């Protein structure tokens, strides 16, 4: 077997091992991320009585909380005050 072909054989084998290792690392990272606890709401946001958060998102100057009562509560990021309430039908 020519030396160039032997080198190519080892290169292809090493690349295959590297791809398999990267795939395993990616799957482990995905499992760890999906099993992580959800991020808590910021301390300055207080939900109305009887409401619990189902989802949370944020923009450049606002926070939004989707509640179990199918309402979206939009808060001002700077002051933490309730800016708008949207009812989901």
- Give the model's pLDDT for residue 89: 84
Give 87's pLDDT tier (boundaries 50, 70, 90).
very high
pLDDT digits (tens, 9 = 90+) for 28-84: 999 999 888 766 666 767 788 888 888 888 888 898 999 988 899 999 888 888 899
Sketch the domain layout of the chain as residue ranges: 1-36, 53-87
- Give the model's pLDDT for residue 84: 92
Alpha-carbon span 31 to 23, nearest angstrom: 12
Whole-Å CA distances, 87 to 22, 25, 72, 81, 84 = 45, 42, 6, 18, 10
Among positive and negative, which fits the CA dihedral 45, 51, 52, 58? negative
């Amino acid at each position: 077997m020519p030396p160039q072909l032997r080198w190519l054989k080892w290169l292809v084998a090493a690349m295959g091992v590297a791809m398999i290792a990267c795939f395993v690392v990616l799957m482990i990272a995905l499992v760890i991320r999906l099993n992580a606890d959800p991020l808590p709401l910021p301390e300055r946001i207080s939900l109305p009585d009887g409401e619990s958060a189902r989802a949370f998102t944020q923009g450049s100057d606002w926070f939004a909380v989707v509640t179990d009562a199918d309402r979206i509560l939009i808060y001002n990021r700077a002051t933490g005050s309730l800016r708008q309430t949207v009812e989901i039908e």
